[in-house]
Chains A and B, each alone.
Chain A
Amino acid sequence: MKRTHVVAAFTATVVAAAGLTGCSSGGGGGGDGSDGPVTITIMETKQTNIDAIGKEIPGFEAEMAEQGKDIKVELIADVLTDEQFMTKMTQQLIAGQAPDVLDIGENMAISWSSAGYLAPLDDYLNEWDGWSHYYPAVKEAIVRQDGQVYSLPSGAGVLNLFYRKDVLTELGVDTSQPETWDDLISRLVEVKEKTGGTPIVVPAGTAWGGGTWGEGFMPLLGGTDTEFYDTESDMWDLESPGWLAVFELYDDLISNGLMPVEDLQNPNPWEPTKYEKFPEGEIQVAAQGTWGWKFDWGPDGATPIEGLEEKVSTWQFPGLRSGDQPYGWSSTGGGYAISEDSENKEAAWEFIKYLSTGEPLAEQLVASGAASARDDLNDVAPYSEEPQLLQAGEDLGESVFVVTGDGAAQVGQAVASATELILSGQADGQQAYDAFVKDATDLLGPGLVKE
């Protein structure tokens, strides 16, 4: 062979090899069937969870070693917003490159399980004695449309209105539980007149990502209308009356100058609102989950508030429409899941079981500020030493929750866009609702919208 042919063939081989190497998946440990060591991966995107899971890994590996199993855990720490995580992980799941264990939110659990990206956990759960300790309401909330369970809650929370007790008391504003939103709005107007600021933040707009739906709109909607999703037909009822009522509530809050509209339209709107103005007392009320006690404002949280328990307290969401009673909104739908393409499902399940039991679970709950979804953890330290979390656990049973299904992410996007119209002054409540119906119908398609 001539020299030029050899060079050409060599070059082509190198290019092909480089391409194939680039396209190949990263090597992992042995599969379920192998006798060798197994390495499983877990991804965490919140610093609190990264720290908490990192602390549990050595204990798990040691326990597995005692059982004669050589399982190692690799923690992939990548600090991302929920929206960034969902976008990134969707690509990885499609490509079969996702970590073995995922720590996910409710919308992700719904979207990914229906697409077939997550492994069903029912067989594992039925053989696990710990499953019987989960609250029935939690079990009901995590069953997906096909009747299977794809994620095991790492914790649960109750969303309420957190308020600055110290600031409102100093301003002479009533701090008793407001029975209705009209009652609360009149108090907020009073605060605004005295401070000149914007006294309340409820997630709204596109910049807040999935939080606008999951931590803002949906808790408000579910408290006044539980018929917006029909579990019989698995369809969204966009004409259910609660939608318009909530859009009009947003309009009231914004048109009265009670919400920080500029902050809400900037990227990462939770930073100037929940992480700056609420800790400084400039925003006095915030829609917030149980995790606020630790993850957001706790001593090791994003922005610690000194003397948190003395300065901050909670109200239940007031009633919105006639006859509505104050309520808390429970948040239980996410949790640990296993990628369908994982080659180490058994090992991944072992790790999830470890994280969901006894002291390891108690430590995670305290770190992230979540209530237990199990009935046998109240005496386990350090969880047993956290009165707010214990109280949240008790409140779970009385909290409202509406199970939804396929299309939740799309509805969330349409809600974000419609509330953005109110924030930017382009629409009132009715116009935003009309825009929402158009967008949601468009995004969901005819198969998911109730006629």
Chain B
Amino acid sequence: MTALVDVPASAQTATRPPTPRRRRGQTWPFVLLLLGPSAVLIVVFIVLPAVYGLWLSLTNTQLTGFAARDPKFVGLDNYSYLLTSADFLTSLGQTGTFLLFSAIIGQTVLGMVAAILLSRPWIRGKGFFGAAVLMPMVVPEVVASLTWASVLATSPEGTLNRLLNVFGGEPTAWLQTAPMLAIILVNIWRGLAFAMIMFQAALEDVPAELIEAARVDGATAVQVFRHVTLPLIRGPVFLYLLLTTISTVGVFGLVYFLTRGGPGGQTRIAAIYIYERALQFSQVGIGSAASIILLVIVLVLGAVYVRLAKVEV
């Protein structure tokens, strides 16, 4: 039998677990401490500029000329202009080509191949191979661009033309004859390492016993990859596709330094178009509207990836 003893109120308080409301009261300073700085930075440097960009896209704001003195609200004029502009639609098409071949196909497929190769126990020289693939990611964008400008230079002194010369080939103006192919290859080269690292980490999480069981059941290497490995790493693959889509749509420096959108607008991807409109032609209103359209496209693509990543195979 348990004796009932009167317990002082203070002691009851000390021993009773805190209520959720009280717990919240105790922890909010920590929450503020941890999240506050990030929230302030996000609001100041991302949310407010984005809202301001949205506002600018509804005006005829210019940076220079008399029009700069008195910007006016023009509603959706900039959007209707862009969506009927052959130049803008062409730049979106070129962005799609660049994204599809350099990021979605190039980086993802080659990154997967590199990750699978490096996960094989019989591969020799993994350190060298891994370092070679990682190097482009370490090099700053400007340095990478100028390096490739030198490699692809028109003159016989260009690195690629020198190599061609060894085999009797004529010097070729690569950035004029195949500009889109050139920037696609350079972007694959630059983004390969990130893909490889993500896929390597994902492959390490695939249980070895599942692979062995599939092999015991007679599955070929391709079948094991298609039906066992790939479904298990689907999440990281779609996460990578989401990240590379966002970063590739935003690629600017690489293309600007190599071709500046030329020749004849053949590599004028959306980022270059926006730069030209907003900063070179000083039409910030139209440039902002183009940015918002691009943002919406990326958000839709992101939503598709997220949706696909949750689908059962």
Contacts and interface: CB of A to CB of B under 8 A. Distances in A.
Contacts of B36: 8, 11-12, 15
A7 B33 contact: yes
B55 interface: no
A83 interface: yes
A5 B16 CA distance: 24
B124 interface: no
Contacts of A91: 279
A8 B32 contact: yes
B310 interface: no
Given A4-B30, A423-B264, A267 B149 contact: yes
A114 B65 contact: yes
Interface residues of A, number: 44
A41 interface: no
Interface string A405-440: 011011001000100110111100000000000000
Contacts of A263: 154
A445 interface: yes
A407 B154 CA distance: 35
A230 to B, nearest CB: 16
B147 interface: no
A265 B154 CA distance: 10
Interface residues of B, number: 39
Contacts of B67: 445
B117 interface: no
The interface centre, meaning the residue of B37, B154, B280 with most chain A CB atoms within 10 A of its CB, is B280
Contact of A443 (B40, B154, B259, B281): B281
B94 interface: no
A260 B64 CA distance: 33
Contacts of B261: 206
B33 A83 contact: no
B33 A207 contact: no
Interface string B124-165: 000000000000000000000000010000110000000000
A207 B262 contact: yes
The interface centre, meaning the residue of B259, B263, B282 with most chain A CB atoms within 10 A of its CB, is B263
A260 B66 CA distance: 37
A426 B264 contact: yes
A90 interface: yes
Contacts of A421: 264
A15 B65 contact: no
Interface string B242-282: 00000000000000011111111110000000001001111
A409 B64 contact: yes
A266 B179 CA distance: 11
Nearest to B145: A267
B29 A5 contact: yes
A119 B5 CA distance: 87
A252 to B, nearest CB: 19
A163 B66 CA distance: 40
A30 interface: no
A87 interface: yes
B300 interface: no
The interface centre, meaning the residue of A5, A91, A424 with most chain B CB atoms within 10 A of its CB, is A424
B262 A205 contact: yes
A262 B176 CA distance: 7
A116 B67 CA distance: 10
Interface string A102-137: 000000000110111000000000000000000000
A181 to B, nearest CB: 25
B298 to A, nearest CB: 25
B176 to A, nearest CB: 6
17 contacts: A8-B29, A11-B37, A12-B36, A15-B40, A15-B41, A90-B279, A91-B279, A111-B282, A115-B64, A115-B66, A116-B69, A265-B175, A265-B176, A272-B155, A407-B65, A424-B264, A424-B266
Interface of B: 29-30, 32-33, 36-37, 40-41, 44, 62-69, 149, 154-155, 173, 175-176, 257-266, 276, 279-283
Interface of A: 2, 4-5, 7-8, 11-12, 15-16, 19, 83, 87, 90-91, 94, 111-112, 114-116, 145, 205-207, 262-263, 265-267, 272, 406-407, 409-410, 413, 417, 420-421, 423-426, 443, 445
